[in-house]
C-alpha cells in the first residue's frame, strides 16, 4: 500500500486530482482558495499513511520544476499589455520600481526589527511578487521557500480584498494608479480581482505584476552583492 502511495507517479496523479477537485469546489464556492483546497487532501493522505513530506516530494518536485517555464510565460501578458500601455510605460516602470523597493525594505525590515532569524527575514523580502519569481528570489537569498509561498498567497488574498478600499481611503482614483498598486503588492490574485471592475485596472495590474517580479529579482541580486 505504502509503495503505491509513495510512488512518484502516484504523487503527481494525486496532486492533479486534488487540484481538479479544488477548482471544482472553487467554482461552486468562490471564497474557497484553490491552493488551500488542493493541499488539504494531500496533507491528509500523508498523515494517514504516515509518510514524510520528502517521499511525496519526489514526485511533487516534477511539478515544481515546471514553475521555471511558467515564469518565462509571464513575459506574454507583459509584452501584450506593454504594447497597449506604451506611452505611460516609463512612468509606470518607475512607480512599480519604487513600490518594489519599499516592499522589500518594509517586509525584511519589519521581520528583522522583530527579531526573526536571518532565513525568515530573507523569506519575507520577495513576498509581494508572483509565486514562481518569489520562490526563485527566496532561494537566491537563502530563505525558506515555504514561508515565502505562504506570505505570497496571503499578500494576494489580502491585497485583493482590501486593495481597492485602501486606494479609496488615500484618495487614489486614477485607474492606472490603482492597477499599478494592486499588481505590485498583490500579484496575480490581486489582478484577478480587478478583471471584473475595470479593464484598464486589470491591464496595468498584470503588467505591473510581471514588472515587479523582474525588478524585485534585480534588486535582490544587488542586495546579495551588498551582503557579501
Which phi and psi (to 5°) does residue 143 adopt? Answer: -90, -165
Check binding of 122 to other proteins (CB under 8 A). no
* H or E element at residue 53: helix 53-65
Minimum CB distance to other proteins, residue 80 (Å): 7
One residue of 7, 49, 145, 197 binding other proteins per CB under 8 A: 145
Q: Does 116 bind other proteins (CB under 8 A)?
A: yes
Q: Does 111 bind other proteins (CB under 8 A)?
A: yes
Helix-, strand-, coil-residue percentages of the chain, each rounded to 5: 85, 0, 15
Cell triple for residue 80?
501584450
67-96: which residues touch other proteins (CB under 8 A)? 67-80, 84-88, 91-92, 94-96
CB 204 within 8 A of CB 180: yes
**Which residues between 157 and 186 bind other proteins (CB under 8 A)?**
158-159, 163, 166-167, 170-178, 180-182, 184-186
Cell numbers 499589455 correspond to what residue? 81
H-type helices in 114-198, by residue range? 118-124, 131-140, 145-169, 175-194
Closest to other proteins by CB, 2 vs 61, is: 61
C-alpha cell at 64: 515544481
For the record, the C-alpha cell of 70 comes out as 511558467
Between residues 2 and 36, which has the closer beta carbon with respect to other proteins?
A: 36
- Residue of 31, 48, 115, 196 interacting with other proteins (CB under 8 A): 115
CB of 186 to other proteins, least distance (A): 8
Kindly tell me which residue out of 3, 31, 52, 196 binds other proteins, with binding defined by CB under 8 A.
52
Q: Which is nearer to other proteins, 1 or 54 (CB)?
A: 54
Taking the C-alpha atoms of residue 141 and residue 80, their distance in angstroms, rounded to an integer, is 31
Shortest separation between residue 164's beta carbon and other proteins, angstroms: 10
Cell numbers 486606494 label which residue?
Answer: 167
Smallest separation (angstroms) from other proteins to the CB of 10 = 13
9 or 70, CB closer to other proteins?
Answer: 70
d(CA 128, CA 182): 10
108 makes contact with other proteins (CB under 8 A): yes
Q: Which three cell numbers stand for residue 227?
A: 551582503
5, 21, 93, 144: which one contacts other proteins (CB under 8 A)? 144
Amino acid at each position: 500500500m505504502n509503495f503505491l502511495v509513495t510512488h512518484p507517479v502516484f504523487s503527481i496523479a494525486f496532486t492533479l486530482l486534488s487540484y481538479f477537485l479544488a477548482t471544482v469546489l472553487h467554482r461552486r464556492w468562490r471564497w474557497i482558495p484553490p491552493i488551500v483546497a488542493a493541499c488539504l487532501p494531500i496533507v491528509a493522505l500523508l498523515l494517514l499513511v504516515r509518510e514524510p513530506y520528502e517521499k511525496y516530494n519526489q514526485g511533487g518536485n516534477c511539478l515544481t520544476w515546471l514553475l521555471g517555464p511558467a515564469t518565462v510565460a509571464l513575459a506574454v501578458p507583459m509584452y501584450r499589455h506593454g504594447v497597449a500601455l506604451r506611452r505611460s510605460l516609463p512612468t509606470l516602470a518607475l512607480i512599480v520600481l519604487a513600490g518594489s523597493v519599499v516592499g522589500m525594505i518594509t517586509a525584511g525590515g519589519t521581520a528583522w526589527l522583530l527579531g526573526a532569524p536571518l532565513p525568515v527575514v530573507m523569506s519575507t523580502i520577495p513576498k509581494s511578487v508572483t509565486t514562481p519569481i518569489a520562490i526563485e528570489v527566496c532561494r537566491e537569498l537563502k530563505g525558506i521557500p515555504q514561508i515565502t509561498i505562504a506570505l505570497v498567497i496571503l499578500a494576494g488574498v489580502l491585497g485583493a480584498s482590501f486593495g481597492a478600499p485602501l486606494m479609496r481611503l488615500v484618495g487614489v482614483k486614477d485607474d492606472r494608479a490603482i492597477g499599478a498598486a494592486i499588481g505590485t503588492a498583490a500579484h496575480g490574485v490581486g489582478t484577478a480581482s480587478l478583471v471584473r471592475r475595470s479593464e484598464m485596472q486589470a491591464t496595468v495590474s498584470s503588467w505591473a505584476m510581471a514588472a515587479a517580479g523582474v525588478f524585485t529579482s534585480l534588486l535582490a541580486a544587488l542586495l546579495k552583492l551588498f551582503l557579501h
